[in-house]
Amino acid sequence: MTEIRKVGICGAGGTMGAGIAIVAARAGFEVVSYDQRGEALARAVKQTDGFFAKSVERGKMTDGNREAVLTRMSSTTDLEALADCDLVIEAIFENLEVKQELFGNLNNICPEHTIFASNTSTLSITQIASGCGREDKVVGMHFCLPAQLMKLIEMSPGLNTSEEVFNLAWNWTEATGQIPVKTQDKPGFILNALLVPFNNDVIRAVEAGVAEPADIDKAIKVGLGYKMGPLELIDLIGLDTQIRLCESFYPVTHDPRASAPPLLRRKVAAGHLGRKSGRGFFTYDGNTMFGA
Amino acid sequence: MHYTIDLSGESRSFPTGDPFLKSASSNADIAIYLGALFKPDDTKAAILIELGTECLGVHTGENAGEEGSNVLGFSRYRNGDDAPSSLIELVRQPATLASAIEAAQTMFESAGFEVALCSDQAGRIIDRLMRPKYNDALRFLDEGLATAKDMDLTCRMGLGYPDGPIERVERGGLGHHYDVTKSLFEIYGTSAYTPPRRAVVAKQRANLK
Ligand SMILES: NC(=O)c1ccc[n+]([C@@H]2O[C@H](COP(=O)([O-])OP(=O)(O)OC[C@H]3O[C@@H](n4cnc5c(N)ncnc54)[C@H](O)[C@@H]3O)[C@@H](O)[C@H]2O)c1
């Protein structure tokens, strides 16, 4: 297997893809950003320029470095442009069939040695790899939001992933300055496996009248030293996103704690989606937060 | 605000030497019971009973959802034998007097604590929410999802927590975790609260000694 020099990012017009492209380019890799939506890609390019300009402003990189990084980055809406990548990381929609189709198509385009990595939060790496034609070269590489700032990556081998490929991908994450942790290919890996049921427990506690949202958040922040209360975090994640997470988890795990609590569904039906709609468990006016 | 303390044995909330104990006065408007059997007294602004894993109703009795008086429960959150935090979980019943809640809240806040008010349910806020998460992490460890170190690192780095679930529950004591989950399981009866294998092992080992 050859060394990783060129990296393709699929879904690079999205939140995660754009951040992952920054991580790779900043570490000296040539990056091809691909998305099916040209306008999303154009927006991501603009945001990336802004990000690096700020890095220079803050003294985190020199202007020369910024220019060098930007010349290593290109963007495209043509999947064929990933033909000479050594590693392709996908961060497209969280949908098994869509991800399987992408890897199947990439398998016909990319050379034999190319490693495919998935940034999925909830899907199985083994299932995403299944039928793509190179099941031994698919790994889970779950970045945290925002990828350009968060160092942690959950790395998971699928059942058919070769050890050599896993180690190459692992070493690549370290070469980018990230911190990988190894997890089995299980729903939600570590982070979401702990967080999704916990968040639902918190919502159920509100529904059960255990305490007001502000008291729950205060207890967790003061008692455990969390920077953000769980309900504040759910408002930030989005209540609709929390339902989507439940809908990925519950059918796979059948853990009752992973099923969407009735209060969550009522709130989403009422348009209380969290921060983005101005109201979730708390009410937001601009950047100010009020109690529920 | 003045308070009287009736202490029997060692309090988990205010261990020997805690400054809160020293600032107590006699015959004050607020009576705090730490381990001692409480005596009802309608003339007090508030009566506060320190709770362990039990509900406040164990001390006051209950009345078809209409229970409540000037008596409140409380617990200063503490992870096992770690030093107590500055959080007071203040437990009310459906008909607890608003004036008693306010008096208790004001007294604790003026003593430097932060107060979270909750209803009289098993585990209050923190144990109800955190114990299932520790159980998940301990089960994941047994199942080989990841190492303890990596699970803790993931929670610290990925979620910004000051510590991870395994290091936290182990620091607090797996035997203590067993006691808390067992009492929660008795009430909730769901697998989320079943004492996990590692806590059962720790408890059984402690009993061997
Ligand atoms: N948002 C998070 O907090 C977070 C964190 C970690 C992992 N993830 C995972 O990352 C992935 C992306 O999430 P996101 O929040 O960035 O989504 P997003 O909706 O912001 O971005 C997805 C991007 O993928 C593009 N896309 C979709 N299907 C495509 C296809 N077939 N080919 C090419 N481009 C395609 C879309 O145009 C879009 O720009 C998901 O698997 C998600 O589970 C998300």
Q: With a cut of 80, say whether residue B91 has pLDDT above it.
A: yes
Residues of A in contact with B119 (CB under 8 A): 209-211
Instruction: Tell me if A268 is assigned to some domain.
Output: yes
Residue A41: give its domain's CATH number: 3.40.50.720
| Domain end residue (candidates: A145, A165, A182) | A182
Domain count for chain A: 2
- Helix intervals (H) in chain B: 19-22, 57-60, 98-110, 126-143, 148-159, 165-172, 174-188, 197-208
Q: CATH number, domain at A271?
A: 1.10.1040.10
**Tokens 């925002």, residue located:** A146
Domain identity same for A206 and A175: no
Put simply, the answer to whether B132 touches A220 (Cβ < 8 Å) is: no
Task: Work out the minimum CA distance from B61 to partner chain A, whole angstroms.
Answer: 19
Ligand 1 centroid–CA A12 distance in Å is 8
Contacts of A202 in chain B (CB under 8 A): 129
Using CB atoms, which residue from B87, B124, B192 is nearest to A257?
Answer: B192
Nearest atom in ligand 1 to A13's CA: 39
Atom of ligand 1 at shortest distance to CA of A237?
3
Mutate to test the interface with B, among A224, A228, A232, A233 (most CBs of B within 10 A): A224
Q: Annotated catalytic, A142?
A: yes
* Residue A113 is a catalytic residue: no
Same-domain check for residues A34 and A172: yes
Which member of A182, A197, A220 has the closest CB to residue B146?
A: A182
Q: Position A78: which residue type? A: D
The answer to whether residue A292 is domain-embedded is no
> Is A204 part of the contact surface with chain B (CB cutoff 8 Å)?
no
A156: contact with B, CB 8 A cutoff: no
The verdict on A219 touching B (C-beta cutoff 8 Å) is yes
Among the options A75, A121, A199, A248, which is catalytic? A121
A112 and A130 housed in the same domain: yes
Non-local CB neighbours of B184 within 8 Å, separated by 6+ positions: B53, B122, B123, B127, B128, B131, B193
The whole-number pLDDT of residue B81 equals 87
Could you state, in chain order, the average pLDDT of each consecutive group of 10 residues for chain A (292 residues)?
Answer: 89 96 97 97 96 95 96 98 98 96 98 98 97 98 95 98 98 98 97 97 98 98 97 96 95 96 98 96 74 42
**pLDDT value at position B1?**
79
Residue A116 resides in a domain: yes
Q: Which of A39, A92, A120 to mutate to test the pocket of ligand 1 (most atoms within 8 A of CB)?
A: A92
Are A153 and A254 contained in the same domain? Answer: no
Residue A218 contacts residue B116 (beta carbons within 8 Å): yes
Is A184 in contact with B146 (Cβ distance < 8 A)?
yes
**Which of A141, A164, A182 is a domain's end point?**
A182
Q: What is the pLDDT of residue A2?
A: 62
Q: Which of B153, B162, B165 sits opposite A181 (nearest CB)?
A: B153
Confidence band (pLDDT; 50, 70, 90) for B209? Answer: confident
At the topology level of CATH, where does B3-119 sit? Rossmann fold (3.40.50)
Name residues contacting ligand 1 (CB within 6 A).
A 10-11, 13-17, 35-37, 40, 91-94, 98, 102, 119-121, 142-143, 145
A198/B144 touch (CB, cutoff 8 Å), yes or no: no
Residue A206 lies in a domain: yes
Q: Domain check: are A129 and A16 in the same one?
A: yes
Quote ipTM for the complex: 0.98
CB count in 10 Å sphere of residue A57: 9
User: Reduced to 3 states, what is the DSSP secondary structure of residue B69?
Assistant: coil
**Chain A residues inside the 8 Å CB shell of B196:** none
**Whether domain B128-204 has CATH 3.30.1130.10:** no
Enumerate the CATH 1.10.1040.10 domain ranges in chain B, comma separated. 128-204
| Predicted pLDDT at A255 | 95
Bridge partner residues of A118 (DSSP): A90, A140
Q: Residue B37 above 60 pLDDT?
A: yes
A224 contacts chain B (CB < 8 A): yes
- The answer to whether residue B42 scores a pLDDT higher than 90 is yes
Q: What is the pTM of this model?
A: 0.95
Same domain, A59 and A178: yes
Q: Name, in order, each residue with C-beta under 8 angstroms of A272's C-beta and a sequence gap of 6 or more.
A: A239, A279, A280, A281
Examine the residue annotation and report whether A119 is marked as an active-site residue of this protein: no
Residue B155 φ then ψ, to 5° = -70, -35
Q: Cα–Cα distance between A244 and A195 in angstroms, integer?
A: 14
Residue type, A17: G
Q: Both A211 and A244 in a single domain?
A: yes
- A203-222 burial: b if 16+ Cβ within 10 Å, else e: bbbbeeebbbbbbbbbbbbb
The pLDDT value given to residue A292: 40
Look up the domain containing A62 and give its range.
Answer: 6-182
* Rounded to 5°, angle at Cα B98 from B126 and A215: 25
Please, what is the angle between helix B126-143 and helix B174-188, to 10°? 110
In this prediction, residue A291 carries a pLDDT of 44
Query: Is A286 inside any structural domain?
Result: no
Question: Which of B 98-137 lie inside 8 A of A, CB atoms?
Answer: 114, 116-119, 121, 124-126, 128-130, 132-133, 136-137
Which helix (H) or strand (E) is A153 found in, with range? Answer: strand A152-157
**Cβ count within 10 A of residue A125:** 29
Measured distance CA(A257)–CA(B135) in Å, rounded:
13
Q: Which of A182, A199, A215 is the last residue of a domain?
A: A182
Summarised one tens digit per residue, pLDDT across range B63-79 is: 999 999 999 999 999 99
* Cβ neighbours around B72 below 10 Å, total: 27
Residues A195, A177 share a domain: no
Q: CATH 3.40.50.720: which residues of chain B?
A: 3-119
A230/B contact by beta carbon, under 8 A? yes
Are A289 and A217 in contact, with CB atoms under 8 Å apart? no
Mean pLDDT of B42-59: 98
* One domain, residues A83 and A224: no
CB B186 within 8 A of CB B194: no
The one catalytic residue in A55, A119, A124, A142 is A142
Let me know if A192 is a catalytic residue: yes
Res B92 pLDDT > 70:
yes
Do A80 and A152 share a domain, yes or no?
yes
Distance between CA atoms of residues B147 and B96, nearest Å = 46
User: Which residues in chain A are contacts of B132 at CB distance < 8 A?
Assistant: 197-198, 201, 257
